[in-house]
């Protein structure tokens, strides 16, 4: 069956037939540390909207090693080690990074820049998308699933 958005690896598939609730280019230090990328394309779905076909095949570890009790955990395939998603233990969101988690980035374009800190000395992005010091000011955390 075809889904609106799908990714994962050969062993675990994730998908959603609903659109994301947020899609941004992240400039935070945590994403930089975890992904090794200067910026990270981050796509958030309501927790209940991103399905996983093999939850038992996931290994989980804290997303932020400097805050191991934080709400986000990085879920990877226990067979091949591929990153599958970020799971919110509070059941509000599930997050994918398209270029690392098997998704088509072009079908989930980033609409703004988040967590940009001008004090780092990095030039302010000038691609026409809004730049914010946090999530978009209109972003509302969804209720837990």
Does residue 111 form part of some domain? yes
- Residue 48 sits at φ, ψ, to 5 deg, of -70, -15
Does residue 109 form part of some domain? yes
Residue 121 structure tokens: 């000395």
| pTM, 2 dp | 0.95
Does residue 95 form part of some domain? yes
Does residue 72 form part of some domain? yes
How many domains is the chain built from? 1
Does residue 125 form part of some domain? no
Q: What CATH code is carried by the domain that includes residue 116? A: 2.170.150.70
Residues of the domain holding 102: 5-120
Cα 118 from Cα 2, distance rounded (Å): 42
**26 has which bridge partners?**
40, 114
Cα 115 from Cα 104, distance rounded (Å): 23
Q: What is the pLDDT of residue 145?
A: 76
Per-residue pLDDT of the chain in tens (145 residues, 90 and over written 9): 689 999 999 999 999 999 999 999 999 999 999 999 999 999 999 999 999 999 999 999 999 999 999 999 999 999 999 999 999 999 999 999 999 999 999 999 999 999 999 999 999 999 999 999 999 999 999 999 7
Nearest to 15 by CA among 24, 6, 26: 6
Does residue 135 form part of some domain? no
**73 has which bridge partners?**
62, 87
Does residue 140 form part of some domain? no
Does residue 41 form part of some domain? yes
């Amino acid at each position: 069956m075809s889904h609106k958005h799908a990714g994962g690896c050969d062993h675990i598939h994730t998908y959603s037939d609903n659109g994301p609730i947020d899609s941004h280019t992240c400039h935070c230090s945590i994403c930089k540390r975890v992904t090794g990328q200067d910026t990270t394309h981050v796509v958030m779905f309501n927790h209940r909207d991103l399905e996983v076909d093999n939850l038992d095949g996931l290994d989980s570890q804290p997303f932020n090693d400097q805050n191991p009790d934080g709400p986000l955990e990085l879920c990877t395939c226990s067979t091949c080690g591929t990153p599958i998603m970020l799971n919110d233990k509070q059941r509000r969101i599930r997050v994918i990074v398209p270029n690392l988690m098997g998704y088509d980035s072009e079908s989930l374009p980033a609409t703004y820049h988040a967590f940009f800190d001008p004090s780092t000395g990095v030039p302010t992005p000038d691609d026409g998308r809004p730049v914010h010091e946090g999530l978009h000011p209109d972003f509302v955390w969804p209720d837990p699933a």
